[in-house]
Amino acid sequence: MNTQQLLKGLHHVTATVNDAQEDYDFYTKILGLRLVKKTVNFDNNSVYHFYYADQVGTPGTVFTTFPYKGQGVRAGEEGTGLIISTAFSVPSTALAFWSERLVENGFAVTASQRFGQEVRWFRDPSGLQLELIADDSDTRTPYVTDEVSAEVGIRGIHHVTLWVAASDWDVLRAFLTSEMNMAEIGQEGERIRLKVNEGGAGSCLEIVRAAADAPRGKNGLGTVHHVAWKVETFEALLALRHRLVEELGMQVTEVRDRKYFRSIYFRVPSHQLFEVATIPPGFAVDESEEELGTHLMLPDDKEANRAAIEAVLPVIQGA
């Protein structure tokens, strides 16, 4: 199997955030995404794991959060080695709607242009850097709410941006293009855009070279924990893991069963955490499409502890 061609695009992005209610309200009510899964951090069952996405949780539309308020987690520090921002795709005609909506709700918005596309930058309530990027070629179907119509709705994640130390720049570029099915398609100053597989919205990555004296980032509240890329089958996942471990000598986790996908984790040469996840089985394995996100779903081996887990989780109004 040619492992260099296995990655097909983005699967999801996962961030560490602060307050659970504030997070839920922002992503579902302000941004108009659907909560497609309400579960817990498999490694810390006292913390929610929220999955926001389109109607069914299509890979490439999924943004997930761990709300760690009250758990003793420090505030993150932005710097090199981090996934510094996440860009969501919207129609170009929707930018005015989003700029007005965000400002009305107390969020500062900065306008710019990148690679010929209009961009609106802002921070979420936990301080995460987010962007809305105009991409009229994105044909994905948005989730629709009473306040966010299909004409302006978010189509999905467009790309994430890595902030890269100058000393890691060349080795990262070589790794992405030789092993991760990526190709460089544009450069503006110290920023390069790469396409993943065939490219387009949901299949892009941007990397930014930092100044020599830029500090190393520290994960914590208000930072992205990892970005996940999708592969089509479990066999593809195993083949990629074999390549990374046995042929490249990289440190890679064993395959993790996340119930909705199986995946592996590893750090790229610039220190960001990458996950590679299977497209199947998806989020409908334990809830119907109509009921997605309406129940607290637990890993099978934690179901016996449901009462104790629910007792320590905060009550989320509306979820």
pLDDT (0 to 100) of residue 7: 97
Mean pLDDT of the chain: 97
* Statement: residue 119 has pLDDT above 90: yes
pLDDT (0 to 100) of residue 309: 95
* Statement: residue 157 has pLDDT above 80: yes
pLDDT (0 to 100) of residue 44: 87
Close Cβ partners of 76 (under 8 Å, ≥ 6 residues apart): 16, 82, 127, 217, 218, 219, 220, 221, 222, 223
- Residues 177-182: contacts with CB within 8 Å, 24+ apart? 178/4, 179/3, 179/4, 179/243, 179/244, 179/248, 180/4, 180/7, 180/229, 181/4, 181/5, 181/6, 181/7, 181/8, 182/7
Question: What domains are defined for the chain?
Answer: 3-312 (3.10.180.10)
pTM over the 0.95 mark: yes
Q: What is the mean pLDDT of residues 233-256?
A: 97
- Which residue has 């989320």 as its token pair? 316
- Which residue has 């890595």 as its token pair? 162
Q: What is the mean pLDDT of residues 304-312?
A: 94
In contact, 50 and 35? CB cutoff 8 Å? yes
How far, in Å, CA of 132 to CA of 215, rounded?
26
pLDDT (0 to 100) of residue 42: 85
The pair of structure tokens assigned to 307 is 């009462």
